[in-house]
Amino acid sequence: MAKEWGNQGSVKVRRQNEYSRLIKFAAVLLTTVFLFRNYITETLAAHWTQNPTKFEAKCPQVEPLYPSQSTKELVDLEEYLTSDEFRNKSIEKLAGAVRIATQSFDDIGPVGEDPRWDIFYSFADYLSSTFPLVHSSLQLEKVNTHGLLFTWPGTDPNLKPTVLMAHQDVVPVPDSTVEQWTHPPFSGYYDGKFIWGRGSSDCKNQLIAALEAIESLIEAGYIPKRTVILSFGFDEEISGHRGAGHLAEVLVKRYGRHGVAVIVDEGMSVIDNWGQVWAVPGVGEKGYVDVEVTVRMPGGHSSIPPEHNGIGVAGELITLIEANPYDPYLDETNPYLSLLHCGAEHAPSFPNKLKKLLDKRDRQSTCTKKHGKDDLALEAAKLGPAIKYLFTTSVAIDLISGGAKANALPERTQFTVNHRINVGSDSKAVFTHITALAAQVAKKHDLALIPFNGTETPSSITLSVYKILEPAPTTPTFEPRLTPFDVLSGTSRAIYSNELLVAPGIMTGNTDTHYYWNVSEHIFRYGVGWDKEQVGLGDIHTVNERIGVQGHVDGVRWFVQFVRNMDEAEL
């Protein structure tokens, strides 16, 4: 019996040893798997950061897009558009448009009453004589007298139309600045490289390019499948409500809400960022609100001044407003966030710190909050004010008035605060912010605060609004399905020989498209001609506005190809 128990004991020990070895082996195996898993995860994460297109690309690039349908006449047209003969004719057409001083003024009266509008009759006559085929082949409607709406019916009424926009008016040239111009502001002077004059790059170039494109297509015998509409306002520089406001109403009534496939208006063109050239069509716009602040305090003789008068209190509030700016914030719908992703994926000198912050944001389910610190936005803001204000609500005190005499205390002081509202924010956030600041000053000086109710009383600070526009809806860009953004991207890469990539852009200002939000959900603010002769916007709104001729000619080619590509797109 003892021997039997001894044998059983030995077996038991052996089993315990085997079990122990199995436990140790399992522990080693699990540790190895865990370490290998971490290694793989970290390696893939690092590889994703260095090679994002290997995985889920956030900035896929469309290949250059060329129309598949063609004729001998269209082939001849493509060749003609690159010829010296066409270049010379195009120069004269744009120069002739610049020579007509279609200035719009802030204080201009109603259409039909103020004689300063009459110059637009001359401009319409010029277009009629310069583009006879457009005027004989397209239906022209004059909306609110000077708005020009051309319709080129397509053969397939089931396809939503393409709308090409521009505005006829230009900002005024003050008499005091005329002598500062290298060439007279309405001369349309051509120096062998540039066409000079007010409106040459804002935006008679785009208007003339669109008309030249349609005129050329008609001459080549082209018949569109998709209806093409040219919509030209005449008061964009002074808000656009007389022109674009009325034109948009016609289009919504005719085609229904979002009844248009795509809209292309003036806007951003080409930039060089992080060692890469980008076309950056504006797919969004910041909002706009002007807040008027009125400080009312008792008057009296200046020889017996109070400790603080209305101008001093207004100055105190201005200082407080400027000392409390808005924080940078990159909303998920802000196109600049997409541009950052494009830079991270494709640009050779994209900043490493921005790339890491982008990666961190992508890996976290919620990286930023509207009322919290946005590390990515704060870092991107260091690129400079021109970048910072693409994703920050801006504040600028632009107007101030107060007082009537040097020896009389001011009874009413007024100033205007202009805001450009960040994407992802709204006017309510602006009203809350400025009301809280005004409340501090009102309390300090025992004044009533009257925020945004339309009344005004003595001994008070009153806030009121006289212009407001919320941030624009963001146009869809990188979608699984084919979109107009893809057609625009492919056209641009084809016209410019694949030299550039395409990324979403955002406008800090507003174009006439803010009246067209109900016309189409695919709106692009895009300067289609790449002006390689100069950096920037061609001195628009200031002395020596000009445009490089090659950029203008390429804009004509762009419109021709875009119309044809849209015809073939299954949208």
Per-residue pLDDT tens digits for 67-95: 999 999 999 999 999 999 999 999 999 99
Examine the domain organization and report whether 109 and 178 are in the same domain. yes
Binding residues are 167, 202, 237, 265, 541
User: In this predicted structure, what is the pLDDT of residue 365?
Assistant: 52
User: H or E stretch including 335?
Assistant: helix 335-346
The residues, ordered by sequence, that sit 6+ positions from 136 with a Cβ below 8 Å of its Cβ are: none
Q: Exposed, middle or buried by CB within 10 Å (0-12, 13-18, 19+), for 145?
A: middle
Q: 38 in a domain, yes or no?
A: no
Note whether residue 310 is domain-resident. yes
Which pLDDT score is estimated for 130?
A: 98
- 170 neighbors 507 (Cβ within 8 angstroms): no
Known catalytic residue: 531?
Answer: no
The answer as to whether 82 is a domain residue is: yes
Calpha distance 322→566 (Å, rounded): 47
Quick one: 563 and 437 in the same domain? no
End residue of a domain, out of 449, 469, 489: 469
Question: Within this chain, do residues 297 and 399 fall inside the same structural domain, yes or no?
Answer: yes
Q: What is the pLDDT of residue 52?
A: 36
The total of structural domains in the chain comes to 2
Give yes or no: residues 387 and 493 share one domain.
Answer: no
pLDDT < 50 regions, the chain: 1-15, 19, 22, 25-26, 28-55, 366-371
Residue 13 falls within a domain, yes or no?
Answer: no
Q: Please, where are the H alpha helices in 181-288?
A: 204-219, 244-255
**Given the structure tokens 């060329």, which residue do they identify?**
66
CATH number for position 424: 3.30.70.360
Q: What is the dihedral of CA 538, 540, 542, 548, to 10 degrees?
A: 30
Same domain, 334 and 351: yes
Q: What backbone torsions phi and psi does residue 75 show, to the nearest 5 degrees?
A: -65, -45
Residues 116 and 172 occupy one common structural domain: yes
pTM above the 0.85 mark? yes
Name the nearest CA neighbour of 132 among 10, 56, 219: 219
Structure tokens at 264: 């292309």
* Residue numbers of the domain that contains 463: 286-469
Question: 335 with 451, same domain?
Answer: yes
Active-site residue among 212, 236, 345, 554? Answer: 236
Residue 22 is assigned to a structural domain of this protein: no
Return the pLDDT at 368: 44
* Exposure letters 208-238 (e unless 16+ CB within 10 A, then b): bbbbbbbbbbbebebebebbbbbbbbbbbbb
- Can 79 be counted among the known catalytic residues? no
Which of 418, 443, 469 terminates a domain? The answer is 469
Q: Which of 408, 441, 469 is the last residue of a domain?
A: 469
1 within a domain of the structure (yes/no): no
Give the pLDDT score at 21.
Answer: 56
> Same structural domain for residues 492 and 464?
no
- Does one domain contain both 101 and 238? yes
CATH code of residue 241: 3.40.630.10
Q: How far is CA 315 from CA 164, 443, 465, in A?
A: 46, 15, 20
Tokens of 447: 């004044």
- Does the residue 59 lie in any domain? no
Enter the tokens of residue 70.
């063609």
pLDDT at 55: 44
Residue 18, pLDDT score: 54
Residue with tokens 């110059």: 119
- Please report which residue ranges of 119-203 form alpha helices under DSSP H: 119-130, 132-137
358 and 494 share one domain: no
Query: What are the C-alpha distances in Å from 539 to residues 200, 491, 547?
Result: 10, 27, 9
In what helix (H) or strand (E) does residue 548 lie, and over which residues does it extend? strand 546-548
Domain-located, residue 49: no
Binding residues for Zn(2+): 167, 202, 237, 265, 541
Distances from the Cα of 328 to the Cα of 368, 378, 387, 388, angstroms: 11, 6, 10, 7
Same structural domain for residues 250 and 376?
no
Verify that 253 and 340 share a domain, yes or no.
Answer: no
